[in-house]
Amino acid sequence: MSFRPVFIAVVIGFALVIAAFLVNRQRPRVETAQPTAALVRASGKCAECHSQQQYSVVHEYELSLHARKGINCLDCHQPAQGQQRVEHKGFVIAPKLTAGNCRSCHEQIYQEFLRSRHAAPAWAAVYGQQSLTPEQVDFSERFQPGATKRPPHPFVALEGASSAQSGCAACHSVGKPNDDGTIGTCTVCHTRHTSSVAIARLPTTCGQCHMGPDHSQLEIYDESRHGVMFTAERQLLNLDAPPKTLTTRDMFVPTCATCHMSGLNGQKVTHDPSERLSYYLADAITKARPDYERAQANMQQICGQCHSSSLVKRVYTDAAKVVETTNARVQAASDIVSKLRKDGVLTTPPFTQPIDFLYFDLWHYDGRTSKHGAFMGGADFVQWHGNYPILAKTVELQAQAAELRRRHGRP
Ligand code: HEC
Ligand code: HEC
Ligand code: HEC
Ligand code: HEC
Ligand code: HEC
Ligand code: HEC
Ligand code: HEC
Ligand code: HEC
């Protein structure tokens, strides 16, 4: 027997092992890393194909805690209760995912979210109560009185469906009612596939919606000492820290989430940011909330993890004064316009005269901005984007009112 065939057999055998190893290495990590056959079937098949179709989806998923805990593609994509079922490459998946696909494993968080203004009230603010079932309205009204039982916003009709859909609804869809009976989406803050708390804790994540002249929270934060410190020290913060054990050693500079949601140093984590709010700052005339004292104590306990109580009291006392003076100025402007209507000088429907917009901008942009700035460290917003334009617009409003009265012969 010659040595040649044995040599060839050994070489071929070795080549096969190497090839198998190389092929295996090409397979997506999720497939090979899954501990059980069932997981390989569910996750591996989706991932194998989709890493060619949309690599980034699979990659983002691989970065998630879900992947590390063995939650697979199908765990989220399978039809939840009340959802449509579609055949997809040998699997049954839901054509559209909602909060319903998360609640199966995160029911308590879903319930908290449901009580918040990020749920039904966000949608009702645009499309009114008729876009929700009576049960959904009643449920939400128990926790957020007056926020859901309301007509559609006048701008939906005035600006038209396309603008409402791509404008208002893009932000307010955080609380959109879904066909499966659930409300809202969790992925505006957590993203679809990273399911990350680090991303949810970034100011820019909240700032997707909380920005612009009518709710300048991101801009205010950016100019506040907190925002400046965040930019300076971001790489030292442990943005990934598990929420249940988050301490000021992880987050020694606050972001939006720290003040409004996190459970810093053993405080309660919440998916209902109203729990820490004592005023209705977004309203034209700001009133205290029903649970004013408890809410203020909740928030001050968060400030108190990093500050002395005297500093915190000073901020609240000063901000309460800004609320008071802003209320008085907005009320004075409102009185000018309602008196024009009462006297029969202004008889046109709302939002058809320049003076309607002048008053709306005064409270909706400048009034809100001054109040938000006062609580969140935005001096420029209290002053140059707040009280100064209120002053200027009040003068303009008086001039327009006088001109309207003159034209109507009713000075
Ligand atoms: C054999 C390849 C293959 C497999 C296996 C596969 N998919 Fe797909 N999937 C596709 C293709 C192709 C598309 C269409 C992409 C497009 O529209 O550009 C798609 C689309 C999707 C979409 C988007 C549907 C839409 O209309 O928006 C989702 C979600 C999805 N797949 C999830 C999954 C999940 C979850 C699994 C595993 C349970 C899976 N896929 C398995 C190939 C596959
Ligand atoms: C934590 C839950 C979750 C997991 C796990 C998950 N997905 Fe998704 N996926 C979503 C959500 C939510 C959407 C958005 C669907 C929608 O808007 O209807 C989505 C969307 C998609 C889309 C459509 C993307 C687009 O932009 O059009 C594809 C494709 C997809 N997923 C594939 C996968 C694959 C493959 C895996 C596993 C590697 C996976 N998903 C794991 C929740 C998940
Ligand atoms: C099949 C069950 C299951 C589903 C479905 C599911 N999750 Fe999870 N999720 C888990 C588990 C398990 C963990 C890890 C919990 C732990 O270790 O504390 C987790 C953790 C998380 C975390 C914390 C991540 C971190 O880094 O601390 C977030 C955020 C999250 N999930 C969001 C979602 C969202 C959003 C959806 C729906 C799109 C969803 N989950 C669907 C089981 C699930
Ligand atoms: C860029 C995202 C974004 C867009 C676009 C947007 N909103 Fe909002 N809206 C918000 C945020 C964020 C708040 C919360 C402000 C606060 O509490 O300070 C809000 C608050 C409101 C409120 C006051 C809260 C309440 O429930 O009374 C109403 C009403 C409202 N929006 C209606 C609309 C309408 C109608 C449109 C379209 C014409 C619209 N929004 C467009 C993000 C947006
Ligand atoms: C997809 C858009 C969107 C994102 C992202 C978003 N919000 Fe909101 N938020 C809204 C809307 C819309 C409202 C107003 C709902 C209403 O009352 O009509 C709101 C209201 C609020 C309120 C006021 C609640 C109240 O009781 O008045 C707080 C506080 C808040 N959000 C904090 C946050 C924080 C913190 C984040 C990030 C972790 C965040 N939001 C991310 C859209 C968003
Ligand atoms: C407004 C933004 C926002 C929305 C909407 C949101 N989350 Fe969160 N979520 C956060 C933030 C911020 C944290 C981290 C809080 C902290 O800093 O500890 C978090 C934490 C979590 C955690 C980890 C909690 C823990 O104790 O380990 C899970 C799980 C989670 N969210 C699931 C969900 C689910 C499910 C939904 C939808 C029902 C949802 N989230 C909607 C912002 C959001
Ligand atoms: C240092 C803590 C802190 C940080 C950081 C912070 N906020 Fe606030 N925020 C507050 C306080 C305090 C109030 C007023 C509380 C009250 O009404 O008693 C407030 C009010 C609000 C409101 C007003 C709700 C209403 O009544 O209209 C919204 C919305 C909001 N914050 C969102 C954000 C967003 C988004 C960010 C990040 C870009 C952020 N906040 C950063 C402390 C903070
Ligand atoms: C996680 C820690 C943390 C939390 C929570 C926090 N802050 Fe701060 N705050 C800081 C840091 C850090 C600075 C910067 C201090 C410096 O300049 O040395 C700061 C600065 C400030 C300043 C400016 C101080 C000055 O002398 O100019 C004010 C005012 C302030 N915070 C108010 C608040 C209020 C009100 C709350 C709660 C609503 C709050 N902070 C919550 C960490 C925090």
Among candidates 102, 83, 96, 99, which has minimal Cα distance to 136? 99
Nearest CA to ligand 7 atom 23: 281
Taking all residues of the chain, what is their mean pLDDT, rounded to a whole number?
A: 93
Tell me what the mean pLDDT of segment 137-151 comes to.
Answer: 97
* Polymer length in residues for the chain: 411
Answer whether residue 359 is part of any domain.
yes
29: number of Cβ within 10 Å: 14
Answer whether residue 361 is part of any domain.
yes
In this predicted structure, the answer to whether residue 403 has a pLDDT above a threshold of 90 is yes
Answer whether residue 277 is part of any domain.
no
Among candidates 371, 362, 366, which has minimal Cα distance to 401? 362
CA separation, residue 243 to residues 217, 323, 338 (Å) = 23, 33, 49
In this predicted structure, the answer to whether residue 3 has a pLDDT above a threshold of 90 is no
Q: Look up residue 238 and give its two tokens.
A: 């442990």
pLDDT category at 1 given cuts 50, 70, 90 is very low
* Residue 187 sits in the same domain as residue 129: yes
Range of the domain at 350: 310-407
* Residue 359 sits in the same domain as residue 399: yes
User: Counting ligands in written order, which one lies closest to the CA of residue 61?
Assistant: 2
In this predicted structure, the answer to whether residue 25 has a pLDDT above a threshold of 70 is no
**pLDDT per position as a tens digit, 170-214:** 999 999 999 999 999 999 999 999 999 999 999 999 999 999 999
* 407 CB near ligand 6 (under 6 Å): no
Pick the last residue of a domain from 161, 176, 195. Answer: 195
Cα three-residue angle 309-314-316, rounded to 5 degrees: 95
Nearest CA to ligand 6 atom 15: 262
Structural domain count, the chain: 3
Task: Please state the separation of Cα 123 from the chain's center in Å.
Answer: 13
Q: How far is the CA of 98 from the centre of ligand 1 (A)?
A: 17
Answer whether residue 235 is part of any domain.
no
Pick the last residue of a domain from 195, 212, 227. Answer: 195
3-state helix, strand, coil in the chain (%, to 5): 65, 0, 35
Among candidates 254, 235, 121, which has minimal Cα distance to 177? 121
Cα three-residue angle 288-292-294, rounded to 5 degrees: 170
* Residue 372 sits in the same domain as residue 322: yes
Inter-residue contact 253 to 229 (CB < 8 Å): yes
Pick the last residue of a domain from 195, 229, 253. Answer: 195
* Residue 138 sits in the same domain as residue 58: no
Burial class (CB in 10 A: 0-12, 13-18, 19+), 107: exposed
Please list every protein residue whose CB sits less than 6 Å from any atom of ligand 7. 203, 206-207, 210, 217-218, 221, 226, 254-256, 259-260, 277-282, 296, 299, 372, 375-376
Answer whether residue 40 is part of any domain.
yes
Tell me what the mean pLDDT of segment 130-156 comes to.
Answer: 97
**Closest atom, ligand 1, to C-alpha of 42:** 38
Answer whether residue 329 is part of any domain.
yes
Tell me what the mean pLDDT of segment 98-105 comes to.
Answer: 97
* Residue 46 sits in the same domain as residue 134: no
- 259-266 contacts, C-beta under 8 A, 24 or more apart: 259/299, 259/302, 259/303, 262/201, 262/302, 264/302, 264/305, 265/305
Answer whether residue 23 is part of any domain.
yes
**pLDDT per position as a tens digit, 323-351:** 999 999 999 999 999 999 999 999 999 99
* Residue 70 sits in the same domain as residue 97: no
Answer whether residue 300 is part of any domain.
no
* Residue 336 sits in the same domain as residue 355: yes
**pLDDT per position as a tens digit, 29-43:** 554 555 566 766 677
DSSP code of residue 142: H
pLDDT at 179: 96
